[in-house]
Structure 1
Amino acid sequence: MSDERTPVSEEQVPAPDAGGPTRKPPAEAIAEARVRAPTRGNRKLETFLDAVNGDEQVRAWWYMTQVNAERLGMSDHSWVHMQIVLNIALRLLRLLLRAGVEPAMVADHGMRDRDAEVVVAGGALLHDTGMSIHRADHEAYSLFLASGALQRLLADAYKEPERTVLASEILHTIIGHRRRGEPYTLEGGVVRVADALDMAQGRTRLPLDLGHEGIHSISAAAVDEVRISAGEERAVRIEIQLNNSAGIFQVDDLLATKIRGTPLDGRVEVIAKVEGETEKRLLSGFRLS
């Protein structure tokens, strides 16, 4: 069964070691990869997560995704990233459902909210598998890798034709997370935004540590904490605590772009604040070359 325990409140986005897991041989590395999330009694979600955790190919894709991320000097894209996106996505979806927003699994297929949870879980856990091949167009590569895996990953939870419906909706969330993905469904919008919210406590600061000083790396390092809660005027409130005002670029360029034009547009309020009287120094100097 999936672990129901969470080390922090659901409002606070988890932020483990920003560097990701220590590199080990493939067999050892994938043995440690095990994603967890609060399933709240959703048996189909539990069954799906158990299938993912027991699938060596999926965990090997996560391993290779991180290898390529390190080759490119990128932030953590290991199974830790997948787990964080999974937990954020479920948090977002449940807040939207609580506010009465109907997911595609209910509106279009007459299924249940709990099936929508499986869809966002699938998208969260498989959205970057294509990066095991190459970063460029990785969203498209993720489609054909995930397509082959989903039949077996969903087999214990769903029969046909529902299994194919779930697989198709999961694939929609995967392609929808690219920069101009334009997801049609609430579930697709949730995965798209959840991916962008893995930014707390230096999760995206690795390029800066490697000496790549630019607005993207500087703004990413300025994010300290992300909290997700029910909003007062909108379904979801996202609060981003910054240590430097440069982080506003990260919020506006990355997060706002991910929200605009999706079914989450108009249902999420984003508030970014710089805490403290002084700002953290992130840049030693800059020379235009």
Structure 2
Amino acid sequence: MSPDDEGEPGTAETVAAAVRETRMTPSEAVAEMRIRLPDRGNRELRRALERANADAELKAWWHVANVNASARLGINDHSWVHVQIVANLALKLLRELVKHGVEPSLVRDYRLRAGDAEVVVVLAALTHCVGMSIHRKGHEDWSLFLAEPKLRELLDGVYEEPDRTVVVSEVLQAITSHRSDGEPLSIEAGILRVADALDMAKGRSRIPFERGRVSMHSLSAAAIEEVRIVDGVDKPVRVEVLMNNSSGIFQVDSLLRAKLLGSGLERHVEVVARIDTESEKKLVPEYRLEF
């Protein structure tokens, strides 16, 4: 994943830091958190992000979510690192779509700006799994419960009414739509749903894998080396998934496909997976999702 010029938030080092975080005190864990992404002069996005980075309560939710996910349940990372990766992926997806003439729903339905759509997808990424701080079961609903007042805090003075309520409502719609049976009603909600699924690189799977929970899910996730978002060939945007083993096809065909179908992005996004190694016999040189 390449979030423009901001470096790589999903490296092995940052994921390792997220694992260490579960053994820190809350104050220690929160002090290390800082979401970075390219605002490209979007004043509203920059102000909202500055407030999020200064919000100890929001960061505490990320910390507890990761304790529940990583330390207690032994599942994939749900720390601030996951949040940062999803935020950068969502922003990259939106900007690529806009570059190729796809109109965000906030522009189409409310005559707001593409920059406002950026605020929606980033805030949705920052709050989509805060409900994991309560419980994994039904965490999307818990996220809505926690996020609504927090979003109004983050946007106070950034947007006036009624625009602030529109932005908050669209973020909440994206949060509830990112679940497996969600029904995104906007481009922005579909982007969050897909971006969340694209955080599939092998670092995120290390917790269950190292604990001996070897399954098709953990094996396939460990096979994903990198996810790139680039200009498309047959469609406006291409998602390239680089694998070190053909078992990664399960991650792409079963899990990513499920999130793409019904996202509203099917006609805009193509997915190509490749095995990028000479150490395994290439049973298939390239694999494409077909819709």
TM-score normalised per structure 1 = 0.91
Partner of 1:235: 236
Question: 1:81 corresponds to which residue?
Answer: 82
Contact 2:10 2:203 in 1 (8 A): no
Offset of residue 16 of structure 1? 4.0
Report the CA distance between 1:28 and its aligned residue.
1.3
Corresponding residue number in structure 1 for 2:284: none
Q: How far off its partner does 1:204 sit?
A: 2.1
Contact preservation (8 Å) 2:194, 2:263? no
Q: What is the CA-CA distance between 1:6 and the residue it aligns to? A: 1.0
Alignment TM-score, normalising by the size of structure 2: 0.90
**Partner residue of 2:279?**
278
In 2, are the aligned partners of 1:202 and 1:222 still within 8 Å (CA)? Answer: no
Q: Which residue is 1:137 aligned to?
A: 138
Matches of 1:16 and 1:5 in 2, distance apart?
A: 19
Q: What's 2:119 paired with?
A: 118
| Corresponding residue of 2:287 | none
Q: Map of 1:231-270 to 2, 5 A cutoff? A: 231-270=232-271
Per the alignment, residue 51 of structure 1 pairs with: 51
Q: Tell me, what secondary structure is at the counterpart of 2:110?
A: coil
2: CA distance between counterparts of 1:209 and 1:14?
18
Corresponding residue of 2:29: 29
1:56-100 deviation per Cα after TM superposition (whole angstroms, max 9, x unaligned): 110110010010012100121111111110000000000000111
Whole-angstrom CA distance in 1 between matches of 2:215 and 2:17: 22
Larger relative contact order, structure 1 or 2 (CA cutoff 8 Å, min sep 6)? 1
Count residues with an aligned counterpart.
273
Secondary structure of the residue aligned to 1:226 is strand
Alignment of 1:56-205 (within 5 A): 56-70=56-70, 71-205=72-206
Query: Structure 2 counterpart of 1:28, which letter?
Result: E
| 2:216 equivalent to 1:215 | yes
Q: Is the 8 A contact 1:19 1:75 kept in 2?
A: no
* SS of equivalent to 2:228: strand
Query: Are 1:15 and 1:200, in contact at CA under 8 Å, matched by a contact in 2?
Result: no
- CA-to-aligned-CA distance 1:19-60 (integer Å, 9 cap, x gap): 442221001111111101000000000000011111111011
Distance 1:265 1:5 in 2: 27
Q: C-alpha displacement at 1:113, in angstroms? A: 0.2
Equivalent residue letter for 1:50 = E
Separation in 2, partners of 1:91, 1:20: 24
Q: Write the distance in 2 (CA, Å) between the matches of 1:41 and 1:258.
A: 31
Would you say the 8 A contact 2:12–2:203 is kept in 1?
A: no
Structure 1 runs (4+) greater than 4 angstroms displaced: none
Q: Is the 8 A contact 1:20 1:76 kept in 2?
A: no
* Aligned amino acid, residue 116 of structure 1: A
Q: Deviations over 1:238-269 (max 9, x none)?
A: 11111111110000111111111121112111
CA distance in 1, matches of 2:149, 2:128: 14
With 144-153 and 195-204 compared, the bigger mean Cα shift is at 195-204
| Partner SS, residue 95 of structure 1 | helix
Say what the alpha-carbon RMSD is for the aligned residues: 1.5
SS at 1:75's partner residue?
A: coil
Q: Give, as a single letter, the amino acid of the residue that structure 1 aligns with 2:192.
A: V
Structure-2 change in CA distance of 1:163 and 1:15 (3 Å): same
- What is residue 286 of structure 1 aligned with on the other side? none
2:11 is aligned to 15
Percent of pairs identical after alignment? 51
